Structure 1
Amino acid sequence: MKRSTHVAGALLTAGGLLLTTAACGSSSGKETDGKATVTVMTWESSATNQAIDKALAGFHDPNITVKRIDTPNGNYSDKLAALTQAKKLPDLFWCGNDTEQQYTSQGLLTDWASRLSGSGDFGAGSFVSSTMKNWKTADGKIGGVPSLMNTYGVWYDIDAFKAAGIAVPTSGWTWDQMFEAASKLHQKGAKYGLVADAMTGQDGPFTLSTYSLSAGGAPFTDSVHQPTKATIDATYTQGVSKLAAGIKSGAIAPPGYDVSNQQSLFAAGQIPMVWSGQWLAAGFLTDKPKIKYGFAPIPQAGKPATLYDAVGICTPSYTENADATFKVLKYLDSTVWTKVLPDSPVAAPAYLSAQDAYFGALDKAGLTTVASTVKSELNTPTSIGVRFTTQWASQTSDLITAYWPDILQGKKPLTDLQTMTGKINEVIKSNR
């Protein structure tokens, strides 16, 4: 579960498909015997789908048949777009917060708000509070149910820190300590002391908001769902200046650095710090790193501040049996992850009662720093989304790409941060 549009593949290997795999088709209908058929489409790898199938085999309702649609996880976005255009979306499909917000505002999804409004075991209060807040549209609709949550922090090589004479990161460590550690690690021979594409790439302006918010400044935007403005204040600029200085010195990998193999390089001891998400833990349990490692929370400049990012499960507005679909949806969120995550703890469930399976797996594997960091990030009240979820988000992404990398590398002056936000505000204004 790496981004709002993708979940990390291959949670685990499990044998035997226990559900029927269906060809691509329309939303649920009634079979000749009168039973409701609920179709499900994921973006998972074949191994993960087998694990989900095995877990779904425990769903028992004589009047409901579940069919999963095969979808190559590398081509999910294209298939989703095609099914949306053809109005043949399955009853339940994996979705990011951005897709849920956009599709709900267009009336393409079933609104589950009324079913989640109660105080039962699957009401809004049964989920991490920030998820329901972020999955509601401006008019209070909820077009999908949050499923798994990403948390972010810094993976660190314990041995590299000890060799450099640096204290390992702990909860409450500061941005200045992170930048200083990156510099010392670089001076000790690391090509880069820190690799952090979340800061140097397209999502960088949102990630740097955690510095500004923590230091008492303004975030990059007042909302990722219904923004009214983008802002770069003095505190925010200070954070960008420190990041740019780290890049200039060679302590931090520059924009454009190839991060496709950063996980393996970190595991081999070639990168001492990586800003990334908790999903790396599942891979480390399968492919044992040669190093001793830990996972620290996002650093602070004052009060704690973090990033919000969750994926979920959506339902088209034309589903033919909402009752049956909601039953399967509830089982997926409340039960399936409790059976899948123990073998590969890739992310914490948004459904609170399912979290014990995730944290229990981390504890069993001895990943205490991962467990403590994920818990602390989930409980941090001050947060910002990792990117705009609006239909016009690609326009702002183009502007960020045009300015952000050059500013960080000194090719454009820091004052161009104001130019960038000015153009972004023009986009926001034109789409309000």
Structure 2
Amino acid sequence: MKRTYFVTTLACAGLLTATACGGSDSGGTADGPVTVTVMTWESVQTNAAIKKALAEFKDDNIKVELLETPSGNYGDKLASLTQAKKLPDLFWCGNDTEQQYTTQGLLVDWTDKITNGDGDFKADKFVPSAMENWKTADGQMGGLPSLMNVSGVWYNADAFKAAGLPEPKAGWTWDEMYAAAAKLTGKNGAKYGLVADPLTALDGPFTMSTYSVSAGGAPFTDNVNHPTKAEADGKFTEGVQKLADAVKAGTVAPPGYDVSNVQGLFAAGKVPMMFGGQWLAAGFQTDKPKVKYGFAPLPQVDTPATVYDAVGICTPSYTKNQDATFKVLQYLNTDVWNAVLPASPVAPPAYTPAQASYFDALTKAQQPSVVETVKAGLGAEKTVGVRYTTQWAQQVADLTTAYYQPILTGKKPISELQTYVGKVNDLIKQGG
């Protein structure tokens, strides 16, 4: 979902010193059903659809209550509930929040349920990269991934045709992308041929890892959850240099470029290419851009590679009825998405049997390039994490601002990548 790409950092800011103890209000009584509370960060419309789907949950012993939470204030709400030890039984969470809370013992570990439980709701039915990234260093899972985010490049098919360029598709290369950006710059009011915030902003080094691993090199870090090292090998450096050259040439938007209206500019034909996620498809489906558009996988050097990101649902360790809560968690990851996604296909479920409704909705909406690209991303041979989930992630972001971004703008030499990596490794050794 769109906001989940950045809300996870907000959601965990300032929360990690809180200690979870005490009790939830959802224990139920001997003469009534157990109440399982659910809190999301979704829009009013999506929450209404979720609430309608939850009303179809059939279990006389369980009552499900969806808590009203303004999507824009989700982080503040989560903070106050954490500090008051009143977290709902199920709450939307990002991978970083899940990792840090689980490590601190704040969440229920669902490992046994998802591995040895009854039925088909098992770990091997989830997208492998999502499950792997939701495990802590000691193998715990303090929540379950729910929806996947798949990165790619949105492109203006009309602009490509006018420039005599073939439309991007699976297998296209970084060199082809930069060449297209150069040819499209300045056309029809486009200031830049490519806006690639995921490459130039704070998560840039992680996205740049797709260049490196595609070329047979090493990623920026060996693990986003519990890293042991960061590095910038020859292939990674090569990728950064090509990006810096494109920024210098004025064909790719530089770090700091205002991307607040980039989707609107793209829809109006003023941005020929932009990095983004699959969640934009739902908005484009409703708003209907003036241009013919498509969605292509991230470019490659040799082997297909992509960044992976999953948002999910967590449960506090003090929830009173774990069995009832898990039943609702399973229902959310299956039947609820089957009911909600056809009207708003924002993201593919991490639970693969529930993905059909998402892809069917996109097919019905005549968005074949989105279907193909999302499937390619989910099945990519090589994947890298989208950002650190550690408590000291913000310190890495500060280093990125001080070193990586100035390298892209030419204010620091490419050799400073090694200084940057050295400082990140110091953080890793110190544990923040």
Q: Write the mapping of 1:150-169 to structure 2, written as runs, cut at 5 A.
A: 150-169=149-168
For residue 32 of structure 1, report the CA deviation from its aligned partner: 7.0
Letter in 1 for 2:365: A
1:136-162 superposed Cα distances (whole Å, 9 cap, x missing partner): 111111110110000011000011011
- 8 Å contact kept, 1:7–1:44: no
**Residue 183 (structure 2) pairs with residue 192 (structure 1):** no
1:175-214 superposed Cα distances (whole Å, 9 cap, x missing partner): 0000000000015452100001000000000000000000
Taking the aligned partners of 2:310 and 2:267, their CA distance within structure 1 comes to 26
2:122 aligned partner: 123
Match of 1:76 among 74, 86, 92: 74
1:57 aligned partner: 55
2:283 aligned partner: 283
1:270 aligned partner: 270
Q: Write the mapping of 1:176-191 to structure 2, written as runs, cut at 5 A.
A: 176-188=175-187, 190-191=190-191
Greater CA drift, 180-189 or 225-234: 180-189
1:86 aligned partner: 84
**Residue 89 (structure 2) pairs with residue 98 (structure 1):** no
Q: 1:75 to 1:370 in 2, by over 3 A?
A: same
Letter in 1 for 2:428: I
1:23-65 superposed Cα distances (whole Å, 9 cap, x missing partner): xx94522147332110100001111110100111110111111
Letter in 2 for 1:37: T
Match of 1:112 among 110, 113, 117: 110
Tell me, what secondary structure is at the counterpart of 2:113? coil
1:78-98 superposed Cα distances (whole Å, 9 cap, x missing partner): 211221122111000000111
1:72-126 superposed Cα distances (whole Å, 9 cap, x missing partner): 1111112112211221110000001111111100000000000011373101012
2:301 aligned partner: 301
1:343-388 superposed Cα distances (whole Å, 9 cap, x missing partner): 1110000011110000000100110000000001100131111000
The TM-score normalised by the length of structure 1 is 0.94
Q: 1:137 to 1:236 in 2, by over 3 A?
A: same
For residue 5 of structure 1, report the CA deviation from its aligned partner: 5.5
Taking the aligned partners of 2:145 and 2:167, their CA distance within structure 1 comes to 34
Letter in 2 for 1:253: A
1:46 aligned partner: 44
Q: 1:284 to 1:5 in 2, by over 3 A?
A: closer
Q: Provide runs of 4+ in structure 1 moved above 2 Å.
A: 2-8, 31-34, 187-190
- 8 Å contact kept, 2:39–2:68: yes
Letter in 2 for 1:163: A
Q: Write the mapping of 1:216-365 to structure 2, written as runs, cut at 5 A.
A: 216-365=216-365
**Residue 413 (structure 2) pairs with residue 417 (structure 1):** no
Taking the aligned partners of 1:27 and 1:419, their CA distance within structure 2 comes to 51
Count of aligned pairs between the two proteins: 416
For residue 6 of structure 1, report the CA deviation from its aligned partner: 5.5
1:12 aligned partner: none
Tell me, what secondary structure is at the counterpart of 1:137? coil
Tell me, what secondary structure is at the counterpart of 1:353? helix
1:428 aligned partner: 428
Letter in 2 for 1:47: Q
Taking the aligned partners of 2:282 and 2:309, their CA distance within structure 1 comes to 18
Greater CA drift, 399-408 or 314-323: 399-408
- 8 Å contact kept, 1:27–1:318: no
Q: 1:378 to 1:48 in 2, by over 3 A?
A: same
- Aligned-pair identity in percent equals 65
Tell me, what secondary structure is at the counterpart of 1:218? coil
Letter in 2 for 1:338: N
Taking the aligned partners of 1:28 and 1:187, their CA distance within structure 2 comes to 59
2:17 aligned partner: none
Q: 1:207 to 1:5 in 2, by over 3 A?
A: closer
Letter in 1 for 2:71: N
For residue 131 of structure 1, report the CA deviation from its aligned partner: 1.5
Letter in 1 for 2:113: R
1:172 aligned partner: 171
Letter in 2 for 1:92: L
Q: 1:5 to 1:110 in 2, by over 3 A?
A: farther
1:136 aligned partner: 135
Taking the aligned partners of 2:241 and 2:6, their CA distance within structure 1 comes to 31
Taking the aligned partners of 1:318 and 1:44, their CA distance within structure 2 comes to 24
- 8 Å contact kept, 2:24–2:318: no
Taking the aligned partners of 2:213 and 2:427, their CA distance within structure 1 comes to 24
Tell me, what secondary structure is at the counterpart of 1:114? helix
1:17 aligned partner: none
- 8 Å contact kept, 2:303–2:381: no
RMSD value, Cα: 1.5
Letter in 1 for 2:239: G
Tell me, what secondary structure is at the counterpart of 2:294? strand
- 8 Å contact kept, 2:178–2:246: yes
Q: 1:136 to 1:303 in 2, by over 3 A?
A: same
- 8 Å contact kept, 1:157–1:294: yes
- 8 Å contact kept, 1:27–1:89: no
